[in-house]
A and B are shown apart, each in its own frame.
Chain A
Amino acid sequence: MRAAFLGLLAIAAAAQDQTGRVEGVVLDAISHQPVKKATVDIEFIGATRGQTMVPRVAITDASGTFEFHGLPAGRYQIRVMHQSYPQVRFGDMRKNVEVSASEAAARVTVELLPGSAVTGRIVDEDGDPLTGCFVQPHPAKNFNGGVPVTTVPPAGNDGSYRLVNIPPGKYILAAQCRAAVFQPRPLSAGPDPPPSAAYPVQYYAGANTPESAQIVELTPGAERSGIDFQMRPVPVTHIHGTLTAASADWHGRNDLEAQLRPLDRPASDVYFDGRVDPVNGSFEIPKVFPGSYRLIVFSRNAFERGTNRGEPPDPVGATARVDVADKPIEISLPFHRAVDVSGTVEIEHSDNALNQIAREQIGIQLTSEEYPFVPPPSPVQPGEDGTFTIKSVLPGEWRINLRSPSAFLKSAWLGTEDVTHGALDLTSGSVAPLRILVSGNTATIGGTAPDSQIVSATLIDAGGPSQTRSERTDSNGQFTIPGLAPGKYRVVGFDNGAPRLMPPDEGGQEVTLREGETAVIEVKPEPKP
């Protein structure tokens, strides 16, 4: 009998007699005391032909030790979890271990760095406790990077909150309250009026923006108390939107969704998400704080893209920037159907055989930050004559994403407009032909990164979202990142699990590459935040 399990690596051994063991101990990195009741699981990351695997989980005993036996020889990764330690950190919760088929056990020591805690109170403008509030830590160096706190519990009825298991580091702490600001209502029927005031996000200590926030340093195992917030309401307004039929008609469509996203926040940070009334093509967005926003309306069938249902029929959309002050906004959005973008790809001639690329190595894709949750159109390969068509591109600003391990986008023109580093404006529902020149004369960064497991090179100053390529170092600490477009890069080395906490716009070392150039550098690991 054989069995396979979803998401697991494992099954039973074909050659049970050739197995080995792993013995280990889990320690607190600060006190060096054993950590009992830690959950240890082992993942097979290197198998030879004919081997099969079993799922394995162990719990550490009072002396912090654990053991796995009957393991087929190979390379394993050990992952340790404990409720009192941050769940995801800089790689030292994971350890790789080589198991050989012998009597001697592979030995491994895992040190867990204890997390930090933050406590405080959230009160309203009168000093009364506020309910429905959350405090969220953001890495000071990478505000939008997110922090692997397992849960962000709401503040209690007395306004007190407590966050635990935060990885040590420097943070900006933000409080957000969903509690409504009271407004009286005269005797009347029907729904309440839209709110005229609300509590905006507040950054410790009393700041309106992350830039003016006080940075809080959290040390391992320590609890930082007194991180209090006094929330103050500010005026809010509302947006009333109406669709106007342009190249598409909204009448009768009940699958239209409106989203509002602040322009100064990550693309995934949706402020409002609601349905468009299929009868009158309108939508209401209440409680909007002053600021600049991106408003998009699109058909939900666009989500079907990327599934095996194929291209969605007749996706439609509309997009606009909205600047909100203190007055209600009325906006009409021209509603367009998705367009097909056609064009040609020319491959730059090279006398160097190493730089020659084939048409099959090229994929052309369009991506947009305006639709962060909608799958982009699938990449297309140019035909034998170099032509291509990308189907059903929603209205908005799009960028060309050349998908090729060995080529870069040298130039691109949308009609007569140079879009090599800029966006394609497809708002109006019509589009000029796209001409793309691709070169195989790419650059390479290589060298040594003895203390890092991963090296990444991020193209900076290229416009649009950052483009990063990462490679693992080999057993000698060497790495090679080929297929890079010319430009200025920031090269960073780090451990497994760290990317979410790495600052994207600082740290590392800058390297400028010309076409065809190979740069050899030594990469030092980044200090942990």
Chain B
Amino acid sequence: MRALGFTSRAMCTGAFLAAAWGQQPTGKGVISGSVVEGENNDPIRKAVVTLTLQGAPRRWATERTDSSGRFQFEGLPAGKYDLRAAKTNEGAAIYGADSVRELSDLITLDDGQIRNGIVLRFVRRGSISGHVYDSGGDPVGNVNVSLLRPGRDLGAPVLFNFRGAQTDDRGEYRVGNLDPGKYYLRASPSPQLGGPAPGRHTMLVEQYYGGARDSHDAFPIYLRGAENLSGLDLHLASEAAVEIRGRILGVPSVTEPAQAQPPGAGFRAVIGGAGVQVSMRPVNDLGRWAYGDFVAQAPEYGFQMTGFTTGRYRIEAVFTSGTKTYGATQILDLRPDSPEILLTLAPAMDIQGTLRLEGQTSPADGRSAPPNDTGTSNRGTRIQGTRVQLVRPGAQQQQDSISAQVRPDGRFTLEQVLPGDWQLGVNPVLPGFLKSARLGDKDVLLTTFEINGSNDAALNIVVSMRTATLEGEVDSVPPASKRAGILIAPVGRFHNLLRFYYDTAADDEGKFKLSGIAPGKYKIFAFEKLTPANFFALEAVDQLDDLGETIEFAEGATLEAHPKLVPADRAMKALQ
């Protein structure tokens, strides 16, 4: 038997913890209190209470309430503290807040001060439940029920998967632990039990709550705080399966056997011989599963398949011969009388490109480069690990993307990119902003663009580290609280892009600081006592437009602002 190369070592747990946590802050202050049910003041036992000292680095402590709902933190230094409690899957409590939409009140602790009797009011989260039935009124099990929330995809309104559940054998589903808000529901039968599948002639149809087939017609569900909405039933209709027929044109002669897919080729399965892989995926919403992969064979490269519901699909054909890939894609409104689909293959291409950093921090001394540095140097390590990615519009699945690692010199190669519509992403975008992206002379920044077989232009991307900073103090009239949620929302072309919405919270003196801002024109809002994340819904911000102040940032600028407080009741109205 081999000699084992290990030694068991009794390590002092305390010593380990000290090493892991570093320097402990010392103090003599005490904060204690209790967590109680918001409705009736009953104690909440075994809630995890988190006390966070304001400042950097973030320092926090956790305790758990006893059977009387009590907690106590000792040995605290002077400072301002955020205090909150939570119980998994049940709810949360925030000191000084009556709902999860509100900011906490900060607790100011002087040196050696003892603050007893702090009360946290527990707010329970809500749930949504119901049944899924088929057209005969029988419960359907194993149906994926998706809870969706409204969002944006490159500015366009979409629904995205927020949470999910599966019906049990009684057709019952339940999604719990939900904050108040606007939701949508969708039931998607599985291929095994009436959903889309090859060979099926009748099938259950995917449906939104309220009976809609399309997300644009979906019925919203408004969940209030601590509300348990039950009886949200979905009745799935059956319909005759729709057949697709088509042909692949322009398949090149096979001169060499198929080989392994090239690096970065993403989802393309390699088909031996002369088959063309064809896939069908539903489009419109994000996060839907794909189905319908099959092969069109030589010599005619025809395909015919049943087992689809009517609707909008992306159909894509991929042919691989050796290291060369050919493809075609089309958006298809599938109907029972849809004509034959013709897909003409075009060669995929390698796209060469560069990613240039502007104004990056010098790794040697940790200081920022001078503001006028527009050089092309990519020194340092920040660019390492960055990937450039092309994604099919509306796709949420990894296989619908092609990505390439950026080399230390900033160059990258996206290999075998298929023709069709794509969107560009840079992940991570570093602590900077995507300043420009051009494919040849075409602006491809934050927009959908087309790649065709004749395109050999380079993809040039610029990421700037020269983000802007905002500092300020809320302008409020006493007795209004200066504690406020600060939001800056873009004006103009990028108004619908949530990635350009920045937020922070002003402290109890109304002071705030926001950094990492992409340059441009914004409106700044200060929402009294409300969490700014509430206002990442564009419809709400638009209603408050006249209460925001315009501010414009140049690259690398630091500005000061004194936004007027938007009263809480006025801001809450916009959220209704």
Contact = CB atoms under 8 A, between A and B. Distances in A.
A367 interface: no
B294 A308 contact: no
Interface stretch (A181-189, A255-263, A371-379, A404-412): A181-189
What is the interface residue range for chain A against chain B?
35 or more
Contacts, number: 167
Interface in B38-74: 46, 48, 51, 53, 57-64, 73
B22 A188 contact: yes
A270 interface: no
Interface in A132-191: 132, 150-151, 153, 156-157, 162, 164-165, 179, 182, 184-191
B518 to A, nearest CB: 29
Contact of A162 (B4, B16, B168, B200): B168
Contacts of B48: 182
B51 A331 contact: no
Contacts of B25: 187-188
Contact of A3 (B7, B62, B260, B305): B305
B141 A84 contact: yes
Interface stretch (A14-22, A51-59, A451-459): A51-59
B302 A3 contact: yes
A214 interface: no
B6 A330 contact: yes
A3 B296 contact: yes
A312 to B, nearest CB: 13
B259 interface: yes
Contacts of A475: none
B11 A3 contact: no
Contact of B59 (A6, A59, A83, A187): A187
Contacts of A5: 198, 294-295, 305
A244 interface: yes
Contacts of B9: 327-330
Contacts of A151: 142, 166
Tell me if A's interface is mostly helix, strand, loop or mixed: loop
A427 interface: yes
Contacts of B2: 320, 425, 427-428
Nearest to A10: B199
B16 A193 contact: yes
A164 B169 contact: yes
A328 B12 CA distance: 9
A39 to B, nearest CB: 7
A309 B177 CA distance: 46
Contacts of B293: 6
A3 B304 contact: yes
A147 B573 CA distance: 53
Contacts of A54: 199
A84 B142 CA distance: 10
Interface string A81-103: 10110000000000000000000
B300 interface: yes
A164 to B, nearest CB: 5
B294 A6 contact: yes
Interface in B261-310: 275, 293-297, 300, 302-305
A156 B88 CA distance: 12
Contacts of A157: 89-90, 176-177
Residue among B60, B260, B304 with max Cβ neighbours from chain A (10 Å): B304
B159 interface: no
Nearest to B25: A187
B202 A333 contact: no
A334 interface: yes
Nearest to B298: A2
B369 interface: no
A126 to B, nearest CB: 8
B174 A334 contact: no
B22 A327 contact: no
B201 A196 contact: no
A31 interface: no
Interface string A436-472: 0000000000000000000000000000000000000
A126 B65 CA distance: 14
A57 B197 contact: yes
Nearest to A307: B260
B59 A329 contact: no
A187 B305 contact: no
A37 B189 CA distance: 14
A83 B64 contact: no
B60 A329 contact: no
A327 B297 contact: no
B192 interface: yes
B192 A81 contact: yes
Contact of A83 (B17, B142, B302): B142
Contacts of B63: 184
Given A83-B169, A162-B168, A244-B5, A131 B199 contact: no
A187 B260 contact: no
Contact of B13 (A1, A196, A322, A332): A196
B138 interface: yes
A162 B174 CA distance: 14
Contacts of A425: 1-2
A184 B62 contact: yes
A312 B293 CA distance: 30
Interface in B247-267: 247, 259-260
Residue among A128, A153, A182, A193 with max Cβ neighbours from chain B (10 Å): A193
B128 to A, nearest CB: 14
Interface in A103-141: 126, 128, 131-132
A308 B260 contact: yes
Nearest to A304: B260
Nearest to B174: A156
A216 B83 CA distance: 47
Given A131-B89, A307-B260, A332-B6, A185 B169 contact: no
Contacts of B58: 189
A4 B295 contact: yes
Nearest to B385: A254
A312 B422 CA distance: 33
A45 interface: no
B10 interface: yes
B7 A331 contact: yes
A8 interface: yes
A189 B5 contact: no
Interface string B5-40: 111111101001100111011000000000000000
B555 interface: no
A153 B174 contact: no
B193 interface: yes
Contacts of A193: 13, 16-17, 20-21
A41 interface: yes
A113 B305 CA distance: 33
B75 interface: yes
Nearest to B257: A308
9 A-B pairs closest in CB distance = A55-B199, A331-B6, A1-B302, A188-B21, A187-B61, A83-B141, A427-B2, A189-B57, A57-B199
Interface of A: 1-6, 8, 10, 37, 39, 41, 54-57, 59, 81, 83-84, 126, 128, 131-132, 150-151, 153, 156-157, 162, 164-165, 179, 182, 184-191, 193-194, 196, 244, 307-309, 320-322, 325, 327-334, 425, 427-428
11 contacts: A3-B302, A3-B304, A131-B89, A182-B48, A186-B75, A187-B77, A190-B20, A309-B260, A328-B9, A332-B7, A425-B2
Given A57-B200, A330-B7, 9 more contacts: A2-B297, A3-B302, A3-B303, A4-B275, A5-B294, A157-B177, A184-B61, A187-B24, A328-B11
